[in-house]
């Protein structure tokens, strides 16, 4: 399988306009969306998943665990052709499949229904194990969580187990915008490293830095990318 290069004609610069179709306001600039740059770099350059192969066993998996505020996610999926851009206009309405938390049974390309925090990383661990058990050693599993979501104990169960088990095809992106009330002494990456993960912290707005972090080799270990973005207002 090759990189996701299917070109729908949309560029990063178009995402603000797509988000405005959902929010109805141009003030929701791309920079206001903490996940936008991470999602764009992943779908544009890293994940081997396209609308054409979204059902194939050998595809990469991206699990959005941080399901709150999914407008950036929907905008990127629409930009990459998973569903028509026109569908964005119905966001949150009764007849729209696009809810304020995504539902995998309603939207093509969405791997998990999310919203309740602390479910995505355990599901990603299970997905990585399930692929490996079927001899699918190539697909990568990615899960996106938030720094405050890391408060959930279920995530610590998953981090400890995945590190000990050396789940090399598992990847976690932590969007760190200082949302957690009590913070993380010593930094978030240190928590993953202590559990045996490879971990790197980068500027979550710098596309080249994100790409380098996403593609860094991590033999025998799961990999965490902590993407720092401006503090939550």
Binding site for another protein (CB under 8 A): 57, 61, 103-105, 111-113, 116, 118-119, 121-134, 136, 153-154, 157-158, 160-161
Are 82 and 112 in contact by the 8 Å Cβ rule? The answer is no
Task: Output 17 or 104, the one with its CB closest to another protein.
Answer: 104
**Helices 71-79 + 15-23 axis angle, to 10:** 130
Measured CA angle at 141 (ends 66, 106), to 5 deg: 55
Task: Output 123 or 202, the one with its CB closest to another protein.
Answer: 123
Task: Output 143 or 174, the one with its CB closest to another protein.
Answer: 143
Task: Output 139 or 204, the one with its CB closest to another protein.
Answer: 139
Question: Shortest gap between Cβ of 44 and another protein (angstroms)?
Answer: 24
Question: Shortest gap between Cβ of 16 and another protein (angstroms)?
Answer: 31
Q: How far is CA 213 from CA 39, 60, 221, in A?
A: 13, 17, 14
d(C-alpha 146, C-alpha 118), whole Å: 10
Are 51 and 84 in contact by the 8 Å Cβ rule? The answer is no
Task: Output 75 or 124, the one with its CB closest to another protein.
Answer: 124
- Interior/surface letters 73-102, b for 16+ CB within 10 angstroms, e for the rest: bbbbbbbbbbbebebbeebeeeeebbbeeb
Question: Shortest gap between Cβ of 105 and another protein (angstroms)?
Answer: 5
- Residue listed under structure tokens 């990063």: 12
Question: Shortest gap between Cβ of 130 and another protein (angstroms)?
Answer: 3
Question: Shortest gap between Cβ of 80 and another protein (angstroms)?
Answer: 21
- Residue listed under structure tokens 């899960």: 143
d(C-alpha 228, C-alpha 147), whole Å: 10
Question: Shortest gap between Cβ of 156 and another protein (angstroms)?
Answer: 9
Task: Output 123 or 148, the one with its CB closest to another protein.
Answer: 123
Question: Shortest gap between Cβ of 134 and another protein (angstroms)?
Answer: 7
Best CA proximity match to 227, nearest among 46, 60, 73, 42: 42
Task: Output 153 or 219, the one with its CB closest to another protein.
Answer: 153
Best CA proximity match to 229, nearest among 75, 30, 17, 80: 30
Q: How far is CA 182 from CA 64, 98, 147, 178, in A?
A: 23, 32, 11, 9
């Amino acid at each position: 399988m090759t990189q996701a290069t299917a070109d729908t004609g949309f560029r990063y610069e178009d995402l603000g306009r797509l988000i405005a179709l959902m929010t109805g306001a141009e003030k929701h600039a791309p920079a206001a969306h903490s996940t936008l740059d991470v999602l764009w770099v992943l779908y544009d350059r890293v994940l081997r998943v396209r609308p054409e192969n979204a059902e194939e066993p050998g595809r990469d998996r991206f699990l959005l665990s941080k399901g709150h505020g999914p407008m950036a996610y929907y905008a990127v999926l629409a930009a990459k052709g998973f569903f028509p851009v026109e569908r964005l206009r119905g966001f949150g309405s009764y007849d729209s499949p696009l809810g304020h938390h995504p539902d995998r049974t309603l939207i093509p390309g969405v791997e998990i229904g999310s919203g309740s925090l602390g479910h995505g990383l355990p599901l990603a661990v299970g997905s990585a194990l399930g692929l490996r058990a079927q001899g699918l050693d190539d697909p990568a599993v990615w899960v996106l969580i938030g720094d405050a979501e890391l408060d959930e104990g279920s995530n610590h169960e998953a981090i400890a187990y995945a590190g000990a088990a050396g789940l090399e095809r598992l990847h976690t992106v932590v969007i760190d915008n200082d949302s957690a009330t009590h913070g993380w002494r010593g930094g978030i990456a240190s928590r993953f490293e202590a559990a045996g993960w490879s971990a790197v912290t980068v500027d979550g707005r710098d596309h080249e830095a994100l790409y380098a972090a996403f593609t860094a080799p991590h033999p025998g270990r799961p990999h965490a990318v902590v993407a720092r973005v401006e503090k939550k207002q």
